[in-house]
A and B are shown apart, each in its own frame.
Chain A
Amino acid sequence: MKLKKPQNQPAVPKGLKHFFYDVYQIFRFAGVFFKEVFSAPFKTKEVIRQFFEIGVRSLPLISVTGFVTGIVFTKQSRPSLAEFGATSWLPSLVAIAIMRALAPLVTALIAAGKVGSNIGAELGSMRVTEQIDAMEVSATNPFKFLVVTRVLATTLMLPVLTMYTGFIALMGGFINVHANELTSFSGFFEKAFEKITFLDIFASIIKSIVFGFTIGIVSSYKGYTASQGTRGVGIAANSSVVTSMFLVFVEEIVIVQITSWFR
């Protein structure tokens, strides 16, 4: 007996189907990463080069963003606290906001934009110009050389960059507080860290490790599987940023929820 296709069943939008398929493929790609990361030979030299590319080369943009975030956040928070005569709480407020939320998130978004697009475009371009195939036929494992090194670098460098962003943002906050209340450097930082707990720092580091891994794996996947020539390179760079950012936001919500259970 032949079954009739149901007519009123709501169709799953093509875009949504594509998104979930993409996420499934990213998980499989991550599976290959975990298989390769622990097997010799280790590309230490290339990992160190990627640390430099991803870490050091991101410093200028991260510095400016962190500093501006700190100074603007402090400036915008002052009037509300001043209403209650609580401007002395500014250092603690700024420190909590920066260390718990702003530093990891801002750093991850900057990294998704700068590093993610870079990885997506670079690997995408290598894929469509057959450079990855050339590595494969010259008996090199391109996944290990190109993907494992980049994912390791993003995963390990993002916590470092996050701590750096936090420090620079606090410096921004200090400049604003010092200009208005003439608070000393040591006084500001003493007050700032009064309310910061180990859990805050620990959660921030874990969060940035997760964000770094996500950015590395998503952008590597997008670049590594690029097709359709130069158009594909553009798509890979663009979707690296969009998908990474989206997943970072989702992870942010999940991790904040989990850490709030421990507070």
Chain B
Amino acid sequence: MTRKQTHFINREHPVIDIQRLEKSFGDLAVLKGIDMQVFEGENVVVLGRSGTGKSVLIKIIAGLLKPDAGTVMVLGQNVAELDRKELQALRHSIGFSFQSSALYDSMTVWENLAFPLEQTGKRFSSGELQSDIEQALEAVGLLQAIHQLPSELSGGQRKRIGIARTLIMKPKIMLYDEPTAGLDPITSGEINALINEVQETYRTSSIIITHDLTCARETGDRIALLLDGVFIHTGSFEEIFSNPDERIKSFYDYNFIEQ
């Protein structure tokens, strides 16, 4: 497999800039002073075992959790210092794909996609709404599911609809929480391809949280390996996994992927 290459990354312009980020839950220190930058147009994969605080990191970026220390700058704004209104405005530029998809299960796919648009307070004609929804569903290849309920969809389809629901807001930043968790290898491959398509088409900058090495290799322009609350290595997939560090080797061997 050839190495992923993205040509439109702007390394002069970080869209996310994290400095000395710390977060604990009770006595358990999850993030212990993390530094990280994500550049415009770049896909950064945060790789690590379950329970290492990967999801906590993107929840802090989205303003769902407050950091204990450090700063998180998103599109030039310090997330922790924003009031509710400012945070809501910033969130229009952030798409968050949840591990569980988090589709509103009492609503159809159409209603799931219409919901964030309607909540912006702007008035949309039914034609505009319909065309935006169809466009987002076409982008994830699921236009035919438009009138289905989430319970009628497979795991992979739910992930795609979850991504479509974020795309409808035309975000600048995408945060993917375990996008391939619980999916078979073929569906995982489709989701990986979709993440790259989203990056290509919408020119998004993304953080992809995963413990799946195939996902990391296929979607990441840069990989950050999280262990014990700190990034132990950052670089391309090849750079990381050619490193003789035993901690990386054990992680790699455990995943059994072909090189």
Indicate if the CB atoms of B121 and A134 lie closer than 8 Å: no
The verdict on A140 contacting chain B, using a C-beta distance below 8 Å, is yes
Contacting residue for A134 out of B88, B104, B106, B120, CB 8 A = B104
- CB-nearest residue of chain B to A129: B100
Mask, A42-70, CB within 8 Å of B = 1, is 00000000000000000000000000000
The verdict on B226 contacting chain A, using a C-beta distance below 8 Å, is no
Given contacts A130-B98, A138-B96, 19 further A-B pairs with CB under 8 A are A129-B100, A129-B102, A129-B105, A131-B102, A131-B103, A131-B105, A133-B98, A134-B103, A134-B165, A137-B63, A138-B91, A138-B119, A138-B169, A139-B88, A139-B89, A139-B92, A139-B120, A140-B116, A145-B119
Indicate if the CB atoms of A139 and B91 lie closer than 8 Å: yes
The verdict on B82 contacting chain A, using a C-beta distance below 8 Å, is no
Taking Cβ atoms with an 8 Å cutoff, the residues of B that contact A are 59, 62-64, 84, 88-89, 91-92, 94, 96, 98-100, 102-106, 115-116, 119-121, 165-166, 169
Known A-B contacts A129-B100, A130-B100, A145-B119; the reply to A137 vs B105 at CB < 8 A is: no
Indicate if the CB atoms of B116 and A139 lie closer than 8 Å: yes
Known A-B contacts A131-B105, A145-B119; the reply to A137 vs B100 at CB < 8 A is: no
Please, how many residues of chain A have a CB less than 8 angstroms from a CB on the other chain? 16
**Distance from A37 Cβ to chain B, minimum over Cβ atoms (Å):** 15
Q: B residues within 8 A CB of A137?
A: 62-64, 91, 94, 96
Q: A residues within 8 A CB of B119?
A: 138-140, 145
Q: A residues within 8 A CB of B106?
A: 122
- CB-nearest residue of chain B to A145: B119
Indicate if the CB atoms of A138 and B100 lie closer than 8 Å: no
**Distance from A120 Cβ to chain B, minimum over Cβ atoms (Å):** 15
Indicate if the CB atoms of B89 and A136 lie closer than 8 Å: no
Mask, A95-131, CB within 8 Å of B = 1, is 0000000000000000000000000001001100111
CA–CA, A53 to B63, complex, Å? 32
Q: Please give me the 6 A-B residue pairs with the lowest Cβ-Cβ distance, nearest first.
A: A134-B102, A138-B116, A130-B102, A139-B91, A140-B119, A137-B96
CA–CA, A7 to B58, complex, Å? 47
The verdict on A238 contacting chain B, using a C-beta distance below 8 Å, is no
Interface positions of A from 154 to 198, Cβ below 8 Å from B: none
